[in-house]
Structure 1
Amino acid sequence: MEHTFIYDGDCAFCSQSARFLERRVRTAAKVTPWQWADLESLGVTQEEAEAAVIWVEPGLKQAGPDAIAVLLRRAQWYWKPAGWALSLKPVSWLTWPLYRLISRNRHKLPGGTAACSLPQAERDRLAGA
């Protein structure tokens, strides 16, 4: 299994963020929307993928800001300090509430769309209508 970073490909804000990661934060990880990933082989449920970004590598699965921290630690040398800083307890206590705030409001952020605020089941229902 390779290193994989999973994000919400139906969310424009998330997709723009993933493109930034691919351009600026180079890792050996496959950065892919969860909608295109083989979640079962990665050991990730759809519910987990809908809830947060996820980092998967052999023996490790992290979500949300913890996933971002791992991605940064696996990137070029100059990103590693940011990844380690995000993992420090005082910082990590703040990152989850901040991550949830951004996640809940991603449809209001630059690049976000109304679809970003809907759960996947609702997006599927509207797409079929």
Structure 2
Amino acid sequence: MTTPTFVYDGDCAFCTSCAHFIERRIPSRATVVPWQFADLDALGLTLAQVEQAVQWVAPDGTIASGPDAIALLLRDAGRFWEVPGRALQLRPVGLLAWPAYRWIAGHRHLMPGGTAACSLPQATRERLYGS
């Protein structure tokens, strides 16, 4: 792998809307891909990891999750985006970022573009809607 990969939940409309924003507005070198279409084994990721949070996989195989993944995506974009990316990695901000990320992830079905399916674990989605 020569470029980083940013992995998100493609079954979640809110997450997909955020990924489309990234692709349109944030000039990262990363491949932005829903985990449902990613080769998780090749990326070194587990189903549990991708269900819990977005993931950043660096070309060297280093993995970051949640706000840490978002910080690396922003830093990779450079210029204007590097400032919020670095800020997100500062200790006080990072300590607040994880609880905020978990709250948003737990309530993503209520966010703009979210759907009821966003609140369900993958196993439940598969049982209800098929794989």
TM-score (norm 2): 0.96
Which residue does the alignment assign to 1:10?
11
Query: 1:82-101 residue pairs with structure 2 within 5 A?
Result: 82-101=84-103
Q: Indicate the structure with greater helix content.
A: 2
**3-state DSSP of counterpart to 1:110:** coil
Query: 1:1-129 residue pairs with structure 2 within 5 A?
Result: 1=1, 2-57=3-58, 58-128=60-130
Structure 1: any 5+ residue segments left out of the alignment? Answer: none
Per-residue CA deviations over 1:67-89 (Å, capped at 9, x if unaligned) read 00000000031100000000000
Residue identity (%): 58
What amino acid does structure 2 have at the position aligned with 1:52? Answer: A
For residues 61 and 46 of structure 2, the distance between their equivalents in structure 1, rounded to whole angstroms, comes to 16
- Equivalent residue pairs, number: 128
Structure 2: any 5+ residue segments left out of the alignment? Answer: none
Displacement, 1:126?
A: 0.3
Displacement, 1:60?
A: 1.6
Per-residue CA deviations over 1:88-129 (Å, capped at 9, x if unaligned) read 00000000000000000000010000000000000000013x
Displacement, 1:44?
A: 0.3
**3-state DSSP of counterpart to 2:16:** helix
Single out whichever of 55-64 and 28-37 deviates more from structure 2: 55-64
For residues 71 and 29 of structure 1, the distance between their equivalents in structure 2, rounded to whole angstroms, comes to 7
Runs of 4+ in structure 1 deviating by more than 4 angstroms, as ranges, are none
Residue pair 1:25, 1:76 contacting (<8 A) in 2 also: no
